[in-house]
Structure 1
Amino acid sequence: MDASRRSTWRIWLMPLSILAGAALTVFVFTFWIDAGGDLAAFDRLFHPNPESARQAIGNTAEVVSAVLGIAITVVAIVVELASNRYTHRVTELFVGEPVNFAVMGFFVITALQAILVAVVFDHQDLPTDFIPYTGILVALAMLAFCLLIVLPYFAFVLEFLNPISIVDRIRAHTMKIVGRGRTALSMRQAEAVRGIEQLADVGLNSMEHKDKGISMASVDALKAMILEYQALRPNLQADWFRVDGELAHNPDFVSMSDDVLAAVTRRRIWFEMKILRKYQTLYNEALNRMRDINYLIAINTRQLAEHALDTKNDELFELLVKFFNTYLRATVNARDVRTAYNVLQQYRLLAERALNHETGARAVEIARYFKYYGLVGFHATLPFVLETVAYDLCALNELAFDQRSPVHRELLRIFLEVDKESESDIQEVSLRGVRKAQVKLATYYLVNGDEKLAREIFRDMERERRDRL
């Protein structure tokens, strides 16, 4: 049984069955006692006393209207609260949900049925009397069903307004519109942008309310959109990838020069860039506040880059590497050392994966970025960042050595240049950590029988200050 069927059973069928069964059991039991066990008495259900039927049908419309009023009031309050807390898209999604229209519509139809039956009801103890027994039974059955579905409907509303469900609905609706070729291009682009921005809004608003789980769901949904989009790309027309008109005036693109917009159009990456810009916004908001969001964004960015490697999507891979560097720059500027450590780890895992693709040139590119941002952190008086970079480069070199990668010597050269910048007493501990990482790599070479590479590290350290060694 899939999740949808389980949800239908849990929200609708099970409570409806329990309530209907309990109500029917109570009625049959009490009716059986009152009738003295006479089965013929059940005929009164289908041919009730006309006066009693008139009173019952007269009250039906009032009961339905009262229940409908209560339902609308409760639902409106709950929807408004959810909309204010997360995103205004909640109201739109709720109104467009067919179940809500079906339930409310059934209440209205029941009330109209009761009113119309009461209008045609004619009982004066004359031969010409008209008593609509079928209409009465249908109206009362509809009233019973209205009362029975109230609690399951409230359960449905609460389930619908679950923030995780809202996130999933926004993602699914957005990707459905993107892949719908019959819809006008401008409308599809606008819907894609709106869906991305609303998912980001849910993430930001959730961070404000300390709802970490919902923020993480938004981050995962944005990643899922990129992955789903890759499957749709081959079927999209060329005009979809052009950044102009209303799309070019979007806040994430309006500040870009014409040359940059032309490059984005040529590389066909505006959709991915839009999502990654929202990743950047979420990442910056989470720095020093909600580090788990930073870690998840780094993990998702790495997984997307690995997918780009596997599918040979060079444009997407380059874009993701660019945003990895953006994360590191923002982390150093925010002086969030703990986040830097975890982001560098994900970046290293990406470099290790890149070693297995083609000549490993992308791993060398990432290693150069490692060196650069390690030194940026070093000069920003965050020496631990440089030490972390050193140990990550050490691990990358060990893997390159094991795989006999053609770029191993270049990676070693970059690693030995990590500590070539000017030094100070305050940062001495970090530079010692760099040398420790280099000694660790030299020892690894010796253990694996490559004295030549170990001696390269030895020669690099030959003129090192004795007190540091």
Structure 2
Amino acid sequence: MDDEPKAAQPPQPPQRPHEPSVSPNAVTREEKLDDTMHASRSMILRRLPLDGQSREAELRRRQQARGQYRLALKTWSVPLLMIGAVVVVFYLLSFWLNVLSYTGTEELSLVDRLVHQDLEKAQNTVGGLGEVMAAVLGLALTVSSIIVQLAATRFTPHITVLFFRARTNMLVLGFFVVSTLFVVWVNFSLDGADYVGPRWDVMFSMLLMTTSLLLLFPYFAYVFDFLDPNKIIGRIKTNGLDACTTKLGRQSISIEQRQRSAVEAVEHLTNIGLNALQQKDKNIVSATIDALREFCVEYGEMKNGMVLEWFKIPDRQSPDFVSLSPEAITDLRHRRTWLEWKVLRQYQMLFTEGQSQIKDICYLLAINTRRLGEAASVYGDLRALDLTIKFFNTYLRATLNASDIRTAYNILHQYRQLGETVLEIGKRSKPTVIDRDKTLADRAIEIAHRMRYYSGVAFQRNMAFVAEVIAHDIGTLCERAFQLSSECHDDLLRIFLAVDDATESADKAKALRGVRKAQIKLATHYLVYGATSLARRIADDMRNEDPRRLRSMWVELANLDTPEFWEVNDRGSNFDYLTPDQKATLPRFFQWFEGLQADSPALYDSLVLRK
């Protein structure tokens, strides 16, 4: 990470007195108390699945999740029945023609022709069947092995394990092997020249061979369907979620094994995404990112029912944990967010690769990180929300270091939406038991504070547009907090008015233009709803502005009539657009400044200074 000048650094908290070092495995008194409360709540929640209706609902949900990755029954039955029916019809037709054209005296019987055979005919039949069955088995194994190996090379080697553990695959291949062995043994044991009874062993050999041939097409369809990238991703995600819970008969598996399975599922999904990034396969990367988000969200639903042993970090040698300090490991264990950390670290890895491969993936990662934060807010898991905020800050730092304005623009859009959601949920929620000293409103303030900090970093890197975007986004947070009557509104407004303080540059006047427009826009919002005192606070902050610059901004804001931006972007809105009600308050706002008249300026006012 690049070193930043001291002027852009956020305020540092006061230094704490020296504390003795603590082992990562040590348990503090506060953590024991916290664990006791969490354990009592977890025991209550773990009793819920024992209820009949709850358990049945959980079973149905899991079965539906697994069922969507299975090949439909008609894919097996329709080809088998259609091909079999055609063969039977042609065989019966040929036999009927034989009956019509038969001139002998003995009666022709279909059953006799199928069952009663002499030894020589039976040996010839079974001998040929053995070769056919061996060819069928070899064809099935060869084709499936080649296809699976190609898919494993393209996506992840874990596909091979999934394929050969699949019950359907084992049943079909097992049927081929059993049929081949049966025919071989019948051929080996066929004897008895004087035997005149029905040859049922030969008949069963024919039936097994016919069924094996009929199963080839459905089996190949199953193999290709199994190796569909979206279904592979879904199976890995489902297996990882199953490992995260002791429900549904998994009590016999140790916590360490389940932790290892969950971590492996996350890593396998990441490998698929990284390989797809290298191949520029945007759809597969998107599916992988969505699967990781769904995994983390569904894990959050079950998290309160986990036993305390689950929250111990399973493997310190993992690349995502090995570099962490003992204090950081202790913090993750105490906060119970090691799995969320694992998922978000995979997001960070994909983000880094996406910056050089497919930048649209960075936008999707920001969207899914926001959704993770929103889900954590809904569940009341504020510590997981803190992680998403931290990784949003990491994304912004990476984009600013790379001078990637476009990516920063889109990430800020998602970051601001997370702040809005936090405000809305925080308005109707209560502080959690685990983290009662810091509410959702405090998280909204932290989001605005971090955004303001990165506006200063952007100015220092000559990316004034990013600072303007941040000003508009914090202004939007202020609008939302004002509408919700949030307790953190005054703090947000104070941060908003401090955005321009970080613009210590020679070209400050030009850079501040977009920030000032954002302030004027927020002031008009306050005036529309009668909050004159808040609008005056903004006017006081702009008191030293040149009247000519203020008048030019007045003209631009008053004459912008298009709410949508004229280029394609993810936001789809024009920053400087004001509603008719807001435009009506512009004269009232600007009359508080000396040198400006109360009436609106003309479109081509001679005092307009366009810079």
Compute the TM-score of the two structures, normalised by the length of structure 2: 0.72
Deviation at 1:363, TM superposition (A): 1.4
Partner of 1:24: 88
Given that 1:122 and 1:130 are in contact with CA atoms closer than 8 Å, whether structure 2 keeps it comes out as no
Which of 137, 142, 146 pairs up with 2:203? 137
Residues 336-382 of structure 1, C-alpha deviations (whole Å, 9 max, x = no match):
22221121111111111122305722211111111111221221222
* Aligned AA (2:546): R
Query: Secondary structure of the equivalent of 1:419?
Result: helix
Q: Is 1:202 aligned to residue 272 of structure 2? A: yes
Q: How does 1:283-322 map to 2 (within 5 A)?
A: 283-322=351-390
User: Aligned equivalents of 1:87 and 1:4: distance in 2?
Assistant: 21
User: Aligned equivalents of 1:130 and 1:189: distance in 2?
Assistant: 64
Q: Is 1:212 aligned to residue 293 of structure 2? A: no
Partner of 1:452: 533
Query: Secondary structure of the equivalent of 1:7?
Result: coil
Q: Is 1:152 aligned to residue 218 of structure 2? A: yes
Report the more deviating stretch, 182-191 or 341-350.
Answer: 182-191
Residues 73-109 of structure 1, C-alpha deviations (whole Å, 9 max, x = no match):
1111111111111111011111111222211211121
Which of 101, 121, 132 pairs up with 2:170? 101
Gaps of 5+ in 1: none
Given that 2:71 and 2:222 are in contact with CA atoms closer than 8 Å, whether structure 1 keeps it comes out as no
Report the more deviating stretch, 402-411 or 103-112.
Answer: 402-411
Partner of 1:67: 136
Report the more deviating stretch, 403-412 or 82-91.
Answer: 403-412
- Cα gap change, 1:427 to 1:16, in 2 (>3 Å): farther
Q: How does 1:387-426 map to 2 (within 5 A)?
A: 387-424=468-505
Query: Secondary structure of the equivalent of 1:247?
Result: coil
Report the more deviating stretch, 308-317 or 131-140.
Answer: 131-140
User: Aligned equivalents of 1:19 and 1:107: distance in 2?
Assistant: 18
Partner of 1:82: 151
Partner of 1:348: 416
Moved over 4 A (4+): 1-6, 37-40, 425-429
User: Aligned equivalents of 1:253 and 1:181: distance in 2?
Assistant: 27
* Aligned AA (2:452): K
- Cα gap change, 1:9 to 1:101, in 2 (>3 Å): closer
Given that 2:455 and 2:502 are in contact with CA atoms closer than 8 Å, whether structure 1 keeps it comes out as no
User: Aligned equivalents of 1:425 and 1:467: distance in 2?
Assistant: 20
Query: Secondary structure of the equivalent of 2:109?
Result: helix
Query: Secondary structure of the equivalent of 1:370?
Result: helix
Which of 328, 331, 342 pairs up with 1:260? 328
Report the more deviating stretch, 374-383 or 77-86.
Answer: 374-383
Given that 1:383 and 1:427 are in contact with CA atoms closer than 8 Å, whether structure 2 keeps it comes out as no
Query: Secondary structure of the equivalent of 1:92?
Result: helix
Deviation at 1:324, TM superposition (A): 1.3
Given that 1:121 and 1:132 are in contact with CA atoms closer than 8 Å, whether structure 2 keeps it comes out as no
Given that 2:456 and 2:503 are in contact with CA atoms closer than 8 Å, whether structure 1 keeps it comes out as no
Q: Is 1:442 aligned to residue 494 of structure 2? A: no
Given that 1:61 and 1:110 are in contact with CA atoms closer than 8 Å, whether structure 2 keeps it comes out as no
Query: Secondary structure of the equivalent of 2:500?
Result: coil
User: Aligned equivalents of 1:210 and 1:336: distance in 2?
Assistant: 20
Query: Secondary structure of the equivalent of 1:230?
Result: helix
Deviation at 1:123, TM superposition (A): 4.7
User: Aligned equivalents of 2:278 and 2:359: distance in 1?
Assistant: 14
Given that 1:288 and 1:336 are in contact with CA atoms closer than 8 Å, whether structure 2 keeps it comes out as no
Deviation at 1:159, TM superposition (A): 0.8
Given that 1:189 and 1:247 are in contact with CA atoms closer than 8 Å, whether structure 2 keeps it comes out as no
- Cα gap change, 1:258 to 1:32, in 2 (>3 Å): same
Partner of 1:171: 237
Report the more deviating stretch, 233-242 or 212-221.
Answer: 233-242
Partner of 2:292: 222
Q: Is 1:34 aligned to residue 108 of structure 2? A: no
- Cα gap change, 1:334 to 1:29, in 2 (>3 Å): farther
Query: Secondary structure of the equivalent of 1:248?
Result: coil
Given that 1:122 and 1:131 are in contact with CA atoms closer than 8 Å, whether structure 2 keeps it comes out as no
Q: Is 1:189 aligned to residue 243 of structure 2? A: no
Query: Secondary structure of the equivalent of 2:518?
Result: helix
Query: Secondary structure of the equivalent of 1:46?
Result: helix
Deviation at 1:468, TM superposition (A): 3.9
User: Aligned equivalents of 2:370 and 2:162: distance in 1?
Assistant: 32
Deviation at 1:114, TM superposition (A): 1.4
* Aligned AA (2:258): R
Partner of 1:11: 75
* Aligned AA (1:240): W
User: Aligned equivalents of 2:177 and 2:196: distance in 1?
Assistant: 25
Report the more deviating stretch, 266-275 or 38-47.
Answer: 38-47
Given that 1:85 and 1:205 are in contact with CA atoms closer than 8 Å, whether structure 2 keeps it comes out as yes
Deviation at 1:35, TM superposition (A): 2.2
Identity of aligned residues (%): 39
Gaps of 5+ in 2: 1-62, 428-438, 551-611
Q: How does 1:50-61 map to 2 (within 5 A)?
A: 50=118, 51-61=120-130
Partner of 2:186: 117
Given that 2:351 and 2:361 are in contact with CA atoms closer than 8 Å, whether structure 1 keeps it comes out as yes
**Number of aligned residue pairs:** 464
- Cα gap change, 1:418 to 1:10, in 2 (>3 Å): farther
Query: Secondary structure of the equivalent of 2:502?
Result: coil
- Tell me the C-alpha RMSD between the 2 structures: 2.3
Report the more deviating stretch, 114-123 or 217-226.
Answer: 114-123
Query: Secondary structure of the equivalent of 1:95?
Result: helix
User: Aligned equivalents of 2:378 and 2:293: distance in 1?
Assistant: 16
User: Aligned equivalents of 1:287 and 1:5: distance in 2?
Assistant: 32
* Aligned AA (1:355): L
Query: Secondary structure of the equivalent of 2:501?
Result: coil
Query: Secondary structure of the equivalent of 1:287?
Result: helix
Query: Secondary structure of the equivalent of 1:445?
Result: helix
- Cα gap change, 1:148 to 1:438, in 2 (>3 Å): same
Query: Secondary structure of the equivalent of 2:477?
Result: helix
Residues 235-284 of structure 1, C-alpha deviations (whole Å, 9 max, x = no match):
433222123xx611211111111111111111111111111111111111
Query: Secondary structure of the equivalent of 2:269?
Result: helix
User: Aligned equivalents of 1:73 and 1:259: distance in 2?
Assistant: 52
Compute the TM-score of the two structures, normalised by the length of structure 1: 0.93
Report the more deviating stretch, 91-100 or 291-300.
Answer: 291-300
Quick check: which one's helix share is greater?
Answer: 1
* Aligned AA (1:158): F
- Cα gap change, 1:428 to 1:44, in 2 (>3 Å): farther
* Aligned AA (1:335): S
Report the more deviating stretch, 172-181 or 250-259.
Answer: 172-181
Partner of 2:563: none
